[in-house]
Structure 1
Amino acid sequence: MLAISLVVLFSLGSPVIFRQRRSGKGGHRFTLVKFRSMNDRRDMAGQLLPDEERVTVSGRFLRRTRLDELPGLINVARGEMAFVGPRPLLPETIEGLGRDGRKRGRVRPGLTGWAQVNGNTLLTLKQKVELDLWYVDHHNVWLDAKILLRTVLVMVAGERVSAAAEGPQPR
């Protein structure tokens, strides 16, 4: 983590850690921590540029390999997150999902999850929510182990949309 901190410091400057309020289990809000992967560039009106225009080369690498998530181990140690579960979303996103947002909140959010190993950034929010809800209904130790193993594959080989994201979920 020290080496990653130095890469972020030299490529983006300070702060090294990104902090943002997210919704956890039962809608409880907490501060998510991760390594920064984007700069703060803005347009002429002072608005932040789109994410894809602010992610740095080192940030792309950290995101692809999921190394930007390592500080999230602090959230896991605090009991705010689990290793596996739906990724924590912004409170306003959860509120906008209504009943589905509340259902997602039945489990602790995770560093990785079913949606992350089935396409993640290649999926729409609707597809991710469907995968998250399937996970909420079916989570168990074996599924979590499968997700952890598939996370390693995604870290090495990159994201791909799986059959699970394109159709009915496996039983």
Structure 2
Amino acid sequence: MNLYAHYVKRIQDFLIALVVSIVLSPVLFTVSVLVKIKLGSPVIFKQKRPGLNNKVFTLYKFRTMTNKKDKNGVLLPDEDRMTSFGEWLRSTSLDELPELFNILNGSLSIVGPRPQLVKDIVFMSKEQRRRHIVRPGLTGLAQVNGRNNINWDEKFEYDLEYIGNITFINDWKIMLKTVLKVFCKEGINTEGLATSEDLGDYLLRLGRITEEEYTAGLEKSKVLINR
């Protein structure tokens, strides 16, 4: 790790997030009110994600789906709980704004490997887990090269490429490209799915793991989440 990655990057992240949070405070307030009216409480969606050195942290987003359940009390599939308002929040990336507070508290960086689900980490190889030797990011190299519309193998390649070359110039290139991607609304979801595909589902679909390995991985992830 170079001087920028060790010291400057964190200071830069904090200052940028602080300024953006203040400037966009009216937007944050307005979106909060709209989410409350259209989707109800809670306004903020919280989810456990693996971060720096595999330490699990709580990621904050604006809620985009309802809590609709079937007659047995089980949550309906994502596509049945997603609303047009929620789709709009995702397409504009406004649902990501609360992650500014993750950047302020140090659990996220502005640029880094995108934090995946806890249940994804149990299916990663040792090499792929190297992505966690740095803080995860609000955006990253994979996000400006396809976001959720590239496969998992490509995501990991971009993540590992990034952690091997963390520089001031590269970070700013990614941040500027991210702004363009947001305006173009590219790669929001995996093609054919309401949301992105989990790693375990991806590996199972391709036959890289068995049903037994998939089930065991999900059980292991529950232990990590409840720690």
> Secondary structure at 1:59's aligned position in 2?
helix
CA distance in structure 2 between the aligned counterparts of 1:16 and 1:69, rounded to whole angstroms: 13
Deviation at 1:42, TM superposition (A): 2.6
Q: Quick one: which amino acid aligns to residue 80 of structure 1?
A: S
Q: Quick one: which amino acid aligns to residue 135 of structure 1?
A: Y
Maintained 8 Å contact 1:7/1:58: no
Q: What does residue 72 of structure 1 align with?
A: 99
Q: Quick one: which amino acid aligns to residue 34 of structure 2?
A: V
CA distance in structure 2 between the aligned counterparts of 1:114 and 1:123, rounded to whole angstroms: 12
CA distance in structure 1 between the aligned counterparts of 2:119 and 2:184, rounded to whole angstroms: 33
Maintained 8 Å contact 1:117/1:150: yes
Q: Which of the pair has more CA radius of gyration?
A: 2
Q: What does residue 106 of structure 1 align with?
A: 133
Deviation at 1:110, TM superposition (A): 0.8
Q: Report the CA distance shift for 1:125/1:42 in structure 2 as closer, same or farther (over 3 A).
A: farther
Maintained 8 Å contact 2:148/2:187: no
> Secondary structure at 1:68's aligned position in 2?
helix
CA distance in structure 1 between the aligned counterparts of 2:73 and 2:127, rounded to whole angstroms: 34
List runs of 5+ in structure 1 lacking aligned partners: 162-171
Q: What does residue 168 of structure 1 align with?
A: none
CA distance in structure 2 between the aligned counterparts of 1:94 and 1:132, rounded to whole angstroms: 14
Q: What does residue 169 of structure 1 align with?
A: none
Q: What does residue 155 of structure 1 align with?
A: 182
CA distance in structure 2 between the aligned counterparts of 1:132 and 1:48, rounded to whole angstroms: 32
- Where in structure 2 are the equivalents of 1:84-103 lying within 5 Å? 84-103=111-130
Given candidates 71, 76, 86, the residue that maps to 1:59 is 86
CA distance in structure 2 between the aligned counterparts of 1:81 and 1:67, rounded to whole angstroms: 17
Superposition CA RMSD, Å: 1.7
> Secondary structure at 1:73's aligned position in 2?
helix
Select the structure that is richer in helix.
2
Deviates more, 1:40-49 or 1:76-85: 40-49
Q: Report the CA distance shift for 1:73/1:160 in structure 2 as closer, same or farther (over 3 A).
A: closer
Q: What does residue 222 of structure 2 align with?
A: none
Given candidates 94, 100, 108, the residue that maps to 1:81 is 108
Q: Quick one: which amino acid aligns to residue 46 of structure 1?
A: G
Given candidates 107, 116, 123, the residue that maps to 2:150 is 123
> Secondary structure at 1:96's aligned position in 2?
coil
Q: Quick one: which amino acid aligns to residue 95 of structure 2?
A: D
Normalising to structure 1: TM-score of the pair? 0.86
- Where in structure 2 are the equivalents of 1:7-46 lying within 5 Å? 7-46=34-73
List runs of 5+ in structure 2 lacking aligned partners: 1-27, 189-227
Q: Quick one: which amino acid aligns to residue 92 of structure 1?
A: K
Maintained 8 Å contact 1:95/1:101: no
Normalising to structure 2: TM-score of the pair? 0.66
CA distance in structure 2 between the aligned counterparts of 1:102 and 1:160, rounded to whole angstroms: 24
Q: Quick one: which amino acid aligns to residue 143 of structure 2?
A: Q
